[in-house]
Amino acid sequence: MKNLQKGFIVPILLASIALLVIGGGVYVYKQKKVEVAVGTTDQVQNTNTQSEPVVNNQNTSTKNQTIKPSINSTYDWKTHTDSLGNYSIKYPPNWYLSTWQSDSGSGSSIYISNFDSSVRNILDNPEDMYVSISSFTPTKGVNYSYLDIPGNMLVDGVKAFNERTYEHGGDVGYVTLGFNNKIYHIKYPGKQRSAFDKIISSFKFTK
């Protein structure tokens, strides 16, 4: 009987030990699996954090951009203001300017050109360009009927008469107008009309 009991107890002990071993192994395996899963999640989060692009909100589309003026612009031209003639006008920075005033102080003249007229004659070559402007106060009793001619151009919004004539062997343009008790005579080479139009477009009355 005792031998039968011993034979029955031994298998039960072995089965119990086997269950403990298996159960412990399963528990350890599950713990390892959880740790691996947590580690993998942390790595993914770190990877996502590192791979997020840095957004630069600064608008660099105009950084160091140079805005070039139009080829027809007068932005860098010099400005001459005539206090007697009550006007201002622009001219290229490398041009020459000469001014005169009448002895009575009632009139003034300017001469702007792309050559130095003090060292050589006017219009020595086809590229020579000038604009001459004379302004004066009308003399009482003098008839200025030419001012009644209908204007065919505008000078700072004021109607003016432009005509072409032949003078000193060349084609010459004349512009006449009256404004605010002043009379203006403007002269330029007739063949340089486009250059003249650009310069006269900067003419502004100051009074």
Give the count of beta carbons closer than 10 Å to the beta carbon of residue 20: 10
Q: Where are the domains of the chain?
A: 1-47, 78-205
DSSP 92-154: -TTSEEEEEE-TTSSEEEEEEESS-TTTS-TTSSTT--EEEEEEEPPPTT---GGGGSPPSEE
Q: Which residues does the chain have with pLDDT short of 70?
A: 1-72, 121-123
**What pLDDT is attached to residue 22?**
60
Token representation of residue 8: 């029955």
Architecture of domain 78-205: 3-Layer(aba) Sandwich (3.40)
Strands 153-155 and 130-136: unpaired
Opening angle at CA 76, ends 71 and 80, nearest 5: 125
**What pLDDT is attached to residue 10?**
54
Q: What is the pLDDT of residues 122-144, one digit of tens each?
A: 667 778 899 999 999 999 889 89
**What pLDDT is attached to residue 44?**
42
The DSSP secondary-structure symbol of 58 reads S
pTM for the model: 0.64
**What pLDDT is attached to residue 63?**
41
**What pLDDT is attached to residue 4?**
43
Element spanning 184, H or E:
strand 182-189
Of 88, 83, 108, give the one whose Cα is nearest residue 98.
108
**What pLDDT is attached to residue 73?**
80
CA-CA-CA-CA dihedral for 184, 187, 192, 194, to nearest 10: 0
> For residues 157 and 205, is the Cβ–Cβ distance under 8 A?
no
> For residues 81 and 70, is the Cβ–Cβ distance under 8 A?
no
**What pLDDT is attached to residue 31?**
56
**What pLDDT is attached to residue 183?**
97
